[in-house]
Structure 1
Amino acid sequence: MLHALLIVLPLGLIMAIGWIVKRIGLVTDTGVAEMNGMLYWVSMPAILFRSTIKVDPAHFSNFPFMCGVYGVFVVLPFISWVLARLRGLPRDRLAVSVLVSIRGNNVFMGLPAVTIALGEPGLVSYGIYLALSLVVYQMISIAMGQLALSGELSIKSLLDTVRKLAGNPMLGACVLGVTGAFLGMGELPGWLDQTLGILGNVGSGVALMALGGSLQIEHILSSVRRVWNDILIRLFLSPLMTWGALTFMDVDPMLTKTAVLVAAMPAAVNNFVLAQGMGMDGSYAGEVIITTTVFSIFSLTLWISLLGV
């Protein structure tokens, strides 16, 4: 457990530094927003492209992995829906719970966590995970959130989802990377590979600092009472179901460990933007993001220990 804590500790410390520099005024709200913009449009697309273009196309016939991961993507929102209904949450909050059930912080926090915990083999597996799951994960989470909010899926909502995904630079980077992998372009020129690698290394640290700077933890205890079901789903049930499904499907151990760690990530920051844009309870989404991010430092220690990393 101590070894696992030491792996997670750098994540917590870098986020804490981001929180401190924001609170003492070295970085303003505008600065945090600008950092997030740089990450969203430059750093993260660079590392995602670099990771996915190196994926062996043979992995796209890894049906056991896809069945296991996609199965969790489909089942988990319904479990979250039932639990939120049992709590009597209003529909705009219930929809948030459904939306965030599979929308973890896979990039801004997942990438640094996998890199620190599993090293280069984990980064390779991370590229495979994203290449095989990112589009499906985006579509299912947004569609299920819309279904929970309105009680029905419309052609308009589906077309709007596709339009939003088409403008996502990180998704675009993955699509370009997968296309390059199928075209046999995985061996990038040295200068380009190093450039993308530097952007990715910078992005991991900046992402954690920006995440820490955006946290407002003053009312964390009162938030826990309101969002405990989302903490349970996001930080514990999601990785547990992923681990069980991939173990049952006899998936490669490194790919399984990577997928479990990614599944254990806290709610993605962009859930707040999505929730507001879709007419859900944005303030509730913010509370889920804050509480799951803070508690993930402890839950990730548990999962890394259990995985034997």
Structure 2
Amino acid sequence: MLEIAALMLPFFGLIAIGYIAARITRQPVEALGWLNTFIIYIALPALFFDLIISTPLDQLVRFDFIGLSLLATYCIFTLIFLTGLFLRKASLREAAIQAYGGSYGNIGYMGPGIAIVALGEQAVAPVALIVCLENAAHFITAPALMAVQGDRRSGLAIVASVVRNVLTHPFIVAMIAGFVAALLEIRPYVPIQQLIDYLAQCAAPCALFAMGVTLALRPIKRVPAEIGYLVPAKLLLHPLLAYVILTSLGTFEPIWISAAVLLAALPTATNVFVLAQQYGVWQERASATVVVTTATSLLTLPAILFWMR
């Protein structure tokens, strides 16, 4: 257990440092703008590109694996969505944000760093597949669901917008570039590869620090009643379902199953709050969900790592 605690310390330590720095320096939330730009548009894409080109091509086409991983995620999504819609009497948009709160994990910021340190370089392929393709799935379903209620654009315009947003997102661009480079066996010139490596190494520390700052600058003003089932759904039910589906419906190496379970156990992504802000719905409660699941994962993540080992 001490080994697990030592493993988790750097990750949650960086979040804590960001939180404390934000509390002490009292910088406005706008000060995060350039750091978030660096993380989303430069550092994380460099990390994803580096992960993909360093992974054997035959492992990058395990669509059975990513399909079952997505099945677990969207089973949780559907469960929370229907609960919000019919039991909580939420609007369609509110139910959608709640569903993302219970199923969309922080796989972009926390996933690659924590999985590779915890599981080793063998986890590169499953992590790259889940991070890139699950994010792509969320980028598609979010605007599509939001368009059902309140979007007055034509269906063709909505589809065009979704396709454009997916294909131009830096994560997806990096993934496509990595797949092409791997397929054609292209390796960057050594100085360029060193630059990519430097940027990739910055991704996790900067992202975790920014997460701590973000949590500090978004105080919880309203804890939603939905937290009572969103937290266990995201942190416990999601990884459990991922384990059951991947072990019962597929034949994968243990390290691939462990990677999927670990990424499923991550707290709610800050992107859920971004979505809530973008569509002007459930904003304070989305922020509270991110904060509470992140804090609670201090207990659940070490327990799940201990169980996997």
TM-score tier (shorter): 0.7 to 0.9
In structure 2, what residue type is equivalent to 1:201?
A: Q
Distance (Å, rounded) in 2 between the aligned partners of 1:223 and 1:302 = 25
Distance (Å, rounded) in 2 between the aligned partners of 1:240 and 1:72 = 9
Q: Is the 8 A contact 1:105 1:269 kept in 2?
A: yes
Change (3 A) 1:157 1:44: same
1:53-86 deviation per Cα after TM superposition (whole angstroms, max 9, x unaligned):
2332223542431331132243222111233245
Change (3 A) 1:59 1:207: same
Distance (Å, rounded) in 1 between the aligned partners of 2:18 and 2:83 = 34
Indicate the residue corresponding to 1:235 in structure 2: 235
Shift of 1:159: 3.1
Shift of 1:219: 6.0
Change (3 A) 1:100 1:149: farther
Q: Is the 8 A contact 1:139 1:161 kept in 2?
A: yes
In structure 2, what residue type is equivalent to 1:94?
A: A
1:161 aligned to 2:195? Answer: no
Q: Is the 8 A contact 1:109 1:208 kept in 2?
A: yes
Indicate the residue corresponding to 1:109 in structure 2: 110
Question: What SS is found at the alignment partner of 1:265?
Answer: coil
Shift of 1:126: 1.8
Indicate the residue corresponding to 1:171 in structure 2: 172
TM-score (norm 2): 0.87
Distance (Å, rounded) in 1 between the aligned partners of 2:227 and 2:221 = 10
Q: How does 1:95-244 map to 2 (within 5 A)?
A: 95-130=96-131, 133-144=134-145, 154-185=155-186, 187-216=187-216, 223=223, 225-244=225-244
Question: What SS is found at the alignment partner of 1:101?
Answer: helix
Indicate the residue corresponding to 2:257 in structure 1: 256
Change (3 A) 1:158 1:239: farther
Number of equivalent positions: 305
Indicate the residue corresponding to 2:8 in structure 1: 8
Distance (Å, rounded) in 2 between the aligned partners of 1:223 and 1:47 = 35
Shift of 1:8: 1.4
Shift of 1:124: 4.2
Q: Is the 8 A contact 1:14 1:212 kept in 2?
A: yes
1:8-56 deviation per Cα after TM superposition (whole angstroms, max 9, x unaligned):
1221111111111111107542332321111111111111111112332
Distance (Å, rounded) in 1 between the aligned partners of 2:305 and 2:148 = 34
Distance (Å, rounded) in 1 between the aligned partners of 2:47 and 2:158 = 30
Range with bigger deviation, 233-242 or 66-75: 66-75
Q: How does 1:65-84 map to 2 (within 5 A)?
A: 65-84=65-84
Distance (Å, rounded) in 2 between the aligned partners of 1:11 and 1:272 = 21
Distance (Å, rounded) in 2 between the aligned partners of 1:142 and 1:132 = 16
In structure 1, what residue type is equivalent to 2:183?
A: F
Change (3 A) 1:20 1:279: closer
What is the aligned-residue RMSD (CA, Å)? 2.7
Shift of 1:173: 0.8
Distance (Å, rounded) in 1 between the aligned partners of 2:218 and 2:67 = 41
Q: Which residues of structure 1 form unaligned runs of 5+?
A: none
Distance (Å, rounded) in 1 between the aligned partners of 2:212 and 2:182 = 34
Q: Which residues of structure 2 form unaligned runs of 5+?
A: none
1:232-257 deviation per Cα after TM superposition (whole angstroms, max 9, x unaligned):
22211221111111112121211111
Shift of 1:149: 8.3
Range with bigger deviation, 157-166 or 6-15: 157-166
Distance (Å, rounded) in 1 between the aligned partners of 2:143 and 2:260 = 20
Change (3 A) 1:282 1:17: same
Question: What SS is found at the alignment partner of 1:215?
Answer: helix
Shift of 1:301: 0.9
Question: What SS is found at the alignment partner of 1:24?
Answer: helix
Change (3 A) 1:78 1:124: closer
Q: Which portions of structure 1, spanning 4 or more consecutive aligned residues, are displaced by more than 6 angstroms?
A: none
1:143-186 deviation per Cα after TM superposition (whole angstroms, max 9, x unaligned):
45655888xx955443332222233112211111112112222x
In structure 2, what residue type is equivalent to 1:191?
A: P
Distance (Å, rounded) in 1 between the aligned partners of 2:220 and 2:247 = 35
TM-score (norm 1): 0.87
Shift of 1:89: 4.6
In structure 2, what residue type is equivalent to 1:211?
A: M
